[in-house]
Amino acid sequence: MQPIVKADEVNNIHVSITHNQDFGVAIAFPEEHPMGIDIEDVNDKNLFPLKEQMTKAEWNVYRKLNLSEIQYATMLWTAKEALSKVFKTGLMTPFFIYEIANIRQTEWSTYISNFVNFPQYKAISYLHQRSVLTIVCPKNTEINPKNESLLHDWISEREG
């Protein structure tokens, strides 16, 4: 079930929600600008099932990044799950359809991913020692650097 927002002042606001053991996160957006969000704990116990959802081409992308296998696998999972929330399919669609085409690193351990089959979207992932938070949005969406640094600081405070 999708969350529903009702307000007198605005119409067609949608929400994507996620949580892990420590906290919950939500993002609100207008219907014409679909977004999805996911957070997952980085946990070595999850490596095998996460790797099962990765394609051979995605492993070739991994070789170009300075990440551990579990960090990379968790980042891909969050990107794919967040995209599935954009389409409101949840985990009902095979994850290979959400295959990642490429990834580039930016500031603050932030990674921008593009999708093979959905080039109109991008994933913005924030990696920290214990969790990965990913927001999927239309590819031309600009994240305000001030807001991005605030998000980074907020996550860092909670992760100690």
The pLDDT tens digits for 22-51 are 878 888 888 899 999 999 999 999 999 999
How confident is the model over 59-75, as pLDDT tens digits? 999 988 989 999 999 99
Quote the radius of gyration of the chain (alpha carbons, Å).
Answer: 15
Instruction: Give the right CATH number for 33-159 from 3.90.470.20, 3.60.40.10, 3.30.930.10, 3.40.50.300.
Output: 3.90.470.20
Per domain, the residue ranges of the chain are 33-159
Collect all residues with Cβ–Cβ distance below 8 Å to 57 and sequence separation of at least 6. Answer: 99, 101, 116
Find the Cα–Cα–Cα–Cα dihedral 27, 119, 90, 3, rounded to 10°. Answer: 30
pTM beyond 0.85, yes or no: yes
